[in-house]
Amino acid sequence: MDFLVFQLQAPLASWGDTAVGEYRGSYEYPGESALLGLLAAALGVRREDDAALTGLRQGYGFAVGVQDAGALLRDYHTAQVPGRTALKGRPHATRRDELAVPKPDLHTILSTRDYRQNAACLVAVQTRVDPLYTLDALANALRRPRFVLYLGRKSCPPAAPLCPMVIGAVSAWVAFESYIARIEQLRAALPDKRGRLPLEEVAPVTRVAWSDGVAAGLTPDLTTRRKDRVIRRKGWQFGDRTEHVWLRKEGV
């Protein structure tokens, strides 16, 4: 079978956890909703297009190979927002619209937001029944995205090209290993005049997380529930899904 494999690296990333009150946490690696949003942005699918988003959710499964979960950065965040009464009868499709209300109608809200510093991971995409796009089409969209891509928040753009590749493999794990080998071959082919290779050596995968139905090729060490299955993006409605996690053992 074929897998679409690409990399995600950034100085800052934020993979939203369940938001409670003023605290906005972050997982250590992207979940299903974040990856669907990334593909949708690359394809030019808008948030209100529920049919297209549903097709993406039903058509693809994901495995995430964590190379570096990154260090935790916690941000004390303040923002101005208008009250609901102030917005009544006014357009508020953009942030600029929201702030156009009279200043006495603006209020300050406080929140704490978590980020992951210098995080890196690989993503393997596997097709399910009746996918909307071929893996090659998704790869082309990631190379030339319609909308700006970011890793969880708009303040978290990728720091390196996603380098998407369609790889034939029996499992996501084998696809990850093949992808790393190909990237290292590309590095080896581009030494400078002193024989030094560009960029850094690709880090190994230390953890793999995947959903039901994805051919990971691994035996999970942990199976848990994660609330990031998109039900209706426009209304921020998410459901539970089962996630399996494998951890690399020392010496393996």
Among 154-168, 170-184, 195-209, the minimum mean pLDDT is found in 195-209
Q: Is residue 74 part of a domain?
A: no
Query: Is residue 180 domain-resident?
Result: yes
Q: What is the spatial distance between Cα 92 and Cα 97, in angstroms, rounded to a whole number?
A: 5
pLDDT tens-digit map of 215-251: 999 999 999 999 888 877 666 678 899 999 999 987 6
Could you tell me if residue 126 is inside a domain? yes
Compute the mean pLDDT over every residue in the chain, rounded to the nearest whole number. 91
Q: Each residue of 53-102: pLDDT tens digit?
A: 889 999 999 999 999 999 999 998 888 888 878 888 887 778 888 888 88
How many domains does the structure of the chain reveal?
1
Instruction: Compute the chain's Rg from CA coordinates.
Output: 20
90 within a domain of the structure (yes/no): no
Q: Residue 190's pLDDT is what?
A: 87
CA dihedral 227, 233, 234, 235 (to 10 degrees): -20
With H, G, I as helix, E, B as strand and everything else as coil, classify residue 179. Answer: helix
Q: According to the model, what pLDDT value does residue 9 have? A: 95
Domain that holds residue 232: 2-17+27-68+121-247
Over residues 112-140, mean pLDDT: 95
Give the CATH number for residue 230.
Answer: 3.30.70.2660
- At 13-39, the pLDDT tens digits run 999 877 777 888 899 999 999 999 999
CA distance 86 to 99: 10
Q: Is residue 83 part of a domain?
A: no
Cα separation of the two ends of the chain: 25
114 assigned to some structural domain? no
Confidence label for 252 from pLDDT (cuts 50, 70 and 90): low
Confidence band of 144 (pLDDT split at 50, 70, 90) = very high
Cβ-count burial of 88 within 10 angstroms (0-12 exposed, 13-18 middle, 19+ buried)?
A: exposed
In a domain, 164, yes or no: yes
Query: Residue 12, Cα to own-chain centre: how many angstroms?
Result: 12
pLDDT of residue 251: 63
Q: Which residues are registered as beta bridge partners of 15?
A: 27
Is there a domain that residue 85 lies in?
A: no
Q: Give the pLDDT of residue 238.
A: 81
pTM, to two decimals: 0.88
